[in-house]
A and B are shown apart, each in its own frame.
Chain A
Amino acid sequence: GDSVTQMEGPVTLSEEAFLTINCTYTATGYPSLFWYVQYPGEGLQLLLKATKADDKGSNKGFEATYRKETTSFHLEKGSVQVSDSAVYFCALQHSGGYNKLIFGAGTRLAVHP
């Protein structure tokens, strides 16, 4: 079945460091790919998405490119801030109907000053 694998956390960085959170997926067909962020004590917010191969999603300085050849959707940010500390979830949504999000396990990011 479909699945999403994320790098395990926690990821601890200093402010202004470069961030990469790896995400790979297994799916039949052509899923859409998403990154959601969960700040402490809050619900999930969409960070960015890409709906077809080679699309790049971007938002708030974060970027991810849909790579079909490597089945990956790695999240990057050039310079993280303390306010980026959160749990990041990679997810896919299948084109085969029923439209359920399949999430990775989440990666906790902690940014310190």
Chain B
Amino acid sequence: DTAVSQTPKYLVTQMGNDKSIKCEQNLGHDTMYWYKQDSKKFLKIMFSYNNKELIINETVPNRFSPKSPDKAHLNLHINSLELGDSAVYFCASSQAGVSTDTQYFGPGTRLTVL
């Protein structure tokens, strides 16, 4: 059973297109996250949701819009894709959003913008 799943695993698209990445967790967690890993493997938080409510938005361009239809899902929609958006995007979840919680990561979505 996959705890945190993401689709698609790979996404190749042209500049200017709009795309979405989906994330689902079956752990019953209240908090979900999106992280971006760049080509040098550096990981940075983008967004966090707690019970469908946005609690972290880390100076991400407004072309990126997260949506949480319920607490088990957190999707990431990206408008007008740019070359610099090429990266691996990881979804994660944790129980209650406190500092001692472990975050569980999905397998990642490798986005390539041509």
Contacts and interface: CB of A to CB of B under 8 A. Distances in A.
Interface of A: 30-32, 34, 36, 38, 42-46, 49, 51, 87, 89, 93-96, 98-103, 105-106, 108
A23 to B, nearest CB: 14
Interface of B: 31, 33, 35, 40-45, 48, 55-56, 58, 90, 92, 94, 97-108
A105 B100 contact: no
A31 B101 CA distance: 11
A43 B90 contact: yes
A108 to B, nearest CB: 8
B43 A89 contact: yes
A105 B99 contact: no
Contacts of B55: 98
Given A43-B105, A101-B45, A106-B43, 7 more contacts: A32-B100, A44-B105, A46-B104, A93-B103, A99-B56, A100-B45, A105-B40
A28 to B, nearest CB: 12
A98 B101 CA distance: 12
Contact of B102 (A30, A49, A95): A49
Contacts of B98: 99
A16 B45 CA distance: 35
A34 B40 contact: no
A96 B98 CA distance: 9
A103 B105 contact: no
A98 B90 CA distance: 18
A99 B99 contact: yes
Given A44-B90, A46-B104, A93-B99, A100 B42 contact: no
B31 A105 contact: no
Contacts of A34: 102
B99 A32 contact: yes
